[in-house]
Amino acid sequence: MTPISLSENHPTHFQHQSLDLINSLVCLSSSGFYLVGADMRHRGVVLHNIDASAERNYEHNYQELDPLKPALFAATDTRVACVDEQLPESELLASEYYRKFMAPLNHRHVADMFFRRGRDIIAVLTMLRSAEVGPFSTAELELLRKLQPFLEFTLNNIYLPRRYRQRNSMQQQHRLTDRELDVVELIVAGASNKAIARELQLSLATVKTHLQHISHKLGVSSRTGVSAIVLGALDN
């Protein structure tokens, strides 16, 4: 799955561009960039060469088994964690997490880049390699650790503040609720109703109800109309 071309005002533009940058610097089999909620659940997930079903499987069944889960690094200053540095190979290969989750996806080597606001981890960029691609070298990990502060600064000082301003503007102008704003962002990202339901953990009927309310408030009759109004407002 190749990252799509997006307007620079698109809510996930920074995440896509960051993945493009990382993939241009180091060889990866797949990668992902997600925001981390206060409950450590993933939000605003952007994936490269990973099926969305794998992300759902991870969150529902394997997140607590992940040796690189953010909660383990919350009290540290770790910028980039590599699974090969965290566990002996024999222990990793024998683990349920590797056998039931990583191996079926042909993932063998993993490095996660953590982004913080203060001491809190607010986002993670995960980098995955197959056994054929091989482990991350010392030089590659050093490069990633040097790059992390720049991406973290951009995330905290440009991307997230701008995104919050845009959400506040849309909310005030159209009287959208927080949940309706979440739905609008996913519509603009091209997500289907089923994908929106999965991402926000809502029933399909609830998503459809939100869409009806959003369409009424924006004065449009289609998802295309919603996207046109939102992107038009962001371009102004």
The two three-digit tokens of residue 155, written as one number: 């995330």
6 has pLDDT over 60: no
- Burial (CB < 10 A; 0-12, 13-18, 19+), residue 40, is middle
Measure Cα distances from 69 to 18, 166, 192 in Å: 20, 30, 28
Give the confidence band of 213 by pLDDT, cuts at 50, 70, 90.
Answer: very high
pLDDT at residue 235, as a whole number: 54
Mean pLDDT of the region 151-160? 88
CATH class of 175-235: mainly alpha
In the DSSP assignment, the letter for residue 157 is I
40 has pLDDT over 80: no
Give the confidence band of 27 by pLDDT, cuts at 50, 70, 90.
Answer: very high
pLDDT at residue 1, as a whole number: 31
Q: Who's near 38: CB < 8 A, 6+ residues apart?
A: none
pLDDT at residue 2, as a whole number: 32
Mean pLDDT of the region 7-14? 59
Percentage of the chain modeled with pLDDT above 90? 54
Amino acid at 22: I
Q: What is the pLDDT of residues 84-127, one digit of tens each?
A: 999 999 999 999 999 999 999 999 999 999 999 888 899 999 99
pLDDT at residue 23, as a whole number: 97
Contact criterion met (CB below 8 Å) for 86 and 68:
yes
CATH class of 13-164: alpha beta
59 has pLDDT over 80: yes
Question: What are the sequence ranges of the domains in the chain?
Answer: 13-164, 175-235
Nearest partner of 187 among 140, 143, 152, 222, judged by Cα: 222
Nearest partner of 34 among 149, 124, 157, 121, judged by Cα: 124
Q: Which residue has the tokens 């089999």?
A: 29
Percentage of the chain modeled with pLDDT above 70? 90
Report the distance separating Cα 156 and Cα 183, nearest Å. Answer: 23
